[in-house]
Amino acid sequence: MITLLPIIFSILKMTEFILGNFANGFIALVNSDQILMALSISRTGLLWLMLINWHATVLTPVLYSLEVRMIVRIAWAVSNHFSMWLAASLSIFYLLKIANFSSCIFLYLKWRVKSVLLGILLGTSVFLVSYLAVLCIDENTQTNEYEGKITWKTKLRHTVYLSDMTLFMLINFVPFVMSLTCFLLLIISLWKHLRKMQLNDKGSQDPSTKVHQRAMQTVVSFLFLLSCYFLTLVISVWNSNRLQNEWLLMLCQALGMLHPSSHSFILIWGNKKLRQALKNVRKIVCRFYCLNLQSFGW
């Protein structure tokens, strides 16, 4: 059983990795939207880093030196940051483009949606730079502890740990709150739209209603997957510092990859152009497969 669990988790991890790379690569190649393209690229990098971290910590932990761990942590922090905030920006984009509110502030933001999204991404880069600085200090203090320099740096280690957790929460929890707010505002906008349709004696399945529902389904799926991903991150950090349970860590790493891989398929399903492009690719593959079977006389 001890040797079977890593094999099972490795198969699950590789399946998520292959499917996630396919979905994100498909979005990056077919889609022309800058947010979706950047999100798919950051998700692809995140998937590769998750696989490298899995291989280093589970399969070959002997080769996982402090230098390699620092490089992986920094690269993961960058890709995870952009994955989180680009997904939250996508939720804000859906809200500003689809929802209808008469507030002057909302109309101003709706008119300058590109500037709003750019400001969010540039503003949150402060979190990223601060988090990278804390990571570097954290790795240096750990190295000094291993070398035997344990005096005032033990207190510094605790301070750095608290700073690390605070920035970790800001980078991962704030996008969740923003996406949740967008979802609630989309519900309010849809409710107002349905009331207006009822007063005008029109059906409830007009194009605007369908667009609202599609956007809400995309955002709520992101919220669910992000909740699972955030939970696995918290458990992994808590486990590495307190419990140090190897099997719990492997489970969290395997489930954590569901977020960057599964959400990409949901984005394809929620985008009409991407959905149609995927159908065309499927038709081409099926036709090519049938031609090959006919050539072999099957």
Q: Which two tokens stand for residue 194?
A: 């349905």
pLDDT at 240: 62
Give me the half-sphere count of Cα atoms (radius 13 Å) on the Cβ side of residue 52.
15
pLDDT (0 to 100) of residue 45: 92
Can you give the pLDDT at residue 1? 45
What is each CA distance from 194 to 167, 200, 201, in whole angstroms? Answer: 41, 10, 10
Which residue has 């750019």 as its token pair?
118
**Neighbour tally for 36: CB within 10 Å:** 22
Q: 90 near 35, Cβ under 8 Å?
A: yes
Q: Are 150 and 107 in contact (CB under 8 A)?
A: no
Q: How many CA atoms are closer than 13 Å to the CA of 197, on its beta-carbon side?
A: 14
Name the residue among 226, 215, 224 with its Cα closest to residue 91: 215
CB 180 within 8 A of CB 173: no
Integer-rounded Cα radius of gyration of the chain: 23
Its pTM stands at 0.82
Residue-level pLDDT, tens digit, the chain, 298 residues: 446 777 888 888 889 899 999 999 988 888 878 888 999 999 999 999 988 888 877 767 666 677 777 888 889 889 989 998 998 898 898 888 888 888 888 888 888 888 999 999 898 888 888 888 888 777 676 655 545 545 555 666 667 667 777 777 777 888 888 888 888 888 888 788 777 777 666 555 667 677 767 777 777 887 888 888 888 877 877 766 555 677 777 788 888 888 888 888 888 887 888 888 888 877 777 776 666 656 655 5
